[in-house]
A and B are shown apart, each in its own frame.
Chain A
Amino acid sequence: MNNLSSPRSPSLETIVTILVWAIAIGVSLIFAWIVGDIAWRGIGELSWQFLINYPENAGREGRIAPILVSTALILAVCMVVAFPLGIGTALWLSELTASASKLGRLVGRSLDILAGVPSIVFGLFGNAFFAKTLGLGFSILSGGLTLACMVLPILIRSTEAGLRSVPLDYRLAAAALGYSRTTTLFQLLLPSSAPSLLAGFALGLGRAIGETAALIFTSGYVDRMPRSLFDSGRSLSVHIYDLATNVAGGDAKAYTSALVLLMLVVFLDLGAILILRKWLQGET
């Protein structure tokens, strides 16, 4: 191990250290810049009124209440569908199939490819399959289901990694104690892989909430308060896109909406962390 800090090149060591620090600071600065810019331009219009009233004049005036509701419903549909499917597939991949088996490899590879597919492809697929073939039309349901397809690979891969990181000894010990597979799963595997499960959930939610291309053709553009899951509803990201590109003079509201979206992501992530802490405390 002592060859890591070779006495010959102390200057190289310093350079690498400085470089790594510089990169880390640089990346943080870019992030801070983006957040700062959105906050700076968006905060002026932000108020409770902005969140609880209806949009007017194509979003130039008025607020985002129906859009927030639509966004929440789309996300709810997405997660309610994706979560059980994701955990199920991850369990199958990590517990019931050898990772080297043909089928396991095929599924794993497919998921990786699926994760890299551009979101507009999901959008067009969702439009063709959910909206037209299944007859759901432009609706929150179509949008949520399309998003579920999109976040599944993220959820599955992250959950699978979590399950695989549980040491084999745990499983052997559980088997030695005479635990059934189901008990092992609920008492042991899921709690110990909870952090990565939740990380996957947060990542998936993050991708879903920022999605525009997949939603324009599925959940649609209507900025009315949705009355059912079969209604079309505009998500926050679609609203921002529309204000920024199609509505002259919509820039200010676009920034405010972006700020709301950003805060939403932060709250959801914090919420996920809190739930995880509670859960782990409850288990031990």
Chain B
Amino acid sequence: MRPLSTCMAIALGLGLLSCGNSTTEEKLVLTGSSTVAPLVSEIGKRFEEDRANVRVDVQTGGSSRGITDARDGIADLGMASRSLTSEESDLQTFTIAFDGIGIVLHQDNLISSLTKSQILEIYTGDIDNWQEVGGNNAEITVINKAEGRGTLEVFLDYLQIENSAIRADSIVGDNQQGIKTVAGNPNAIGYVSIGAAQESIDAGVPVRLAAIDGIEATLENVQAERYPLYRPLNLVSKDTPEGLTKTFIEFARSPEVRDIIEEQNFVPFSP
């Protein structure tokens, strides 16, 4: 039994090997941010559809890895879910989408806008009643994201605090869970991807997005980089992109992939 299965495995392997080497194909390798990877993976699939000899291989490992790999030339393009630091200014970035994060309140909440410092004080527990920010006399239910969520990182980065500083009443996982929790509690405050929140609002879920410092959480404001709570999703290149790499970047920034980006709850780069 055992030698037979071994032989079969080898035969299968050889069979696969032989059909893999026949065509002359162009391969594009991207590595980096695990937030951007699922999105670029989908963009890559559509890119391959019209180009028979092109393969787009997407690998993960985090933004920093993407930047290193792009610099070392191991990857054609890196993926980073943040802006580059000053030490990384030798690389070129191409924003393909934004991850905008909205503050979600219940529909019945009187508050329409919060300032950054109010959000900070609510999340660190210094403010625990809606009255203190001009709302009803009701205790605030603070909803935080679970450790490891991309939105949590952006949120903490925006407020410049550690997760341990947050006094949360409830921890949620994905966007949907966050929205459902706020919808079920008139005194709750949470934060989720704007795309997901907008989708739920359109579907009639009783929540709404609060403005930050008077700036509405709309896709337009994120696109124009007016809205403060967001991060760019970037492709990173060592040299000025040419050939297939250039075509791919242009494709990823074009309206052709708008629906894919929206499906992943991100804000498209192209207007």
Contacts and interface: CB of A to CB of B under 8 A. Distances in A.
A229 B13 contact: yes
B264 A58 contact: yes
A216 B61 contact: yes
B174 A249 contact: yes
B74 interface: yes
A132 interface: yes
A247 B148 CA distance: 12
Given A222-B59, A229-B16, A231-B20, A76 B38 contact: no
Contacts of A217: 59, 61
Contacts of A232: 57, 59
Contacts of B18: 228
A132 B29 CA distance: 14
A275 B2 contact: yes
B12 A76 contact: yes
A227 B38 contact: no
A246 B20 contact: no
A138 interface: yes
B188 to A, nearest CB: 19
Contact of B13 (A57, A73, A138, A248): A73
A249 B19 CA distance: 36
Among A83, A226, A228, max chain B CB count under 10 A is at A228
B264 A76 contact: no
A221 B13 contact: no
Interface in B235-271: 263-265
B180 to A, nearest CB: 12
Nearest to A123: B61
Given A247-B38, A248-B196, A80 B74 contact: no
Nearest to A245: B148
A251 interface: yes
A228 B196 contact: no
B41 interface: yes
A229 B9 CA distance: 11
B61 A248 contact: no
A223 to B, nearest CB: 7
Contact of B20 (A138, A228, A242): A228
B13 A227 contact: no
Contact of A251 (B20, B41, B42, B173): B173
A59 B38 contact: yes
Contacts of A278: 1
B253 to A, nearest CB: 19
A51 B37 CA distance: 23
A248 B176 contact: yes
Contacts of A21: none
State which size class the interface on A falls in. 35 or more
Interface in B213-254: none
Contact of A73 (B1, B16, B61, B74): B16
A226 B16 contact: yes
Nearest to B265: A248
A216 B196 contact: no
B181 interface: no
A57 B150 CA distance: 19
B110 interface: no
A60 B264 CA distance: 10
B67 to A, nearest CB: 16
A228 B21 contact: yes
Contacts of A138: 29, 57, 59
A221 B60 contact: yes
Contacts of A230: 17, 20
Nearest to A132: B74
A220 interface: yes
B39 interface: yes
Interface in B123-171: 148, 150
Contacts of A226: 16
Contacts of B265: 248
Given A58-B264, A249-B174, A221 B17 contact: no
B34 interface: yes
Contacts of A247: 38
Interface of B: 1-2, 6, 9-10, 12-13, 16-21, 29, 34-35, 37-39, 41-42, 45, 55, 57-61, 74, 148, 150, 173-176, 193, 196, 263-265
Given A57-B263, A76-B9, A76-B12, 12 more contacts: A57-B42, A77-B9, A77-B13, A220-B57, A220-B59, A221-B59, A223-B41, A227-B16, A228-B16, A228-B19, A242-B37, A246-B150
The 6 A-B residue pairs with the shortest CB-CB distance, nearest first, are A228-B20, A58-B38, A76-B9, A227-B20, A248-B174, A228-B16
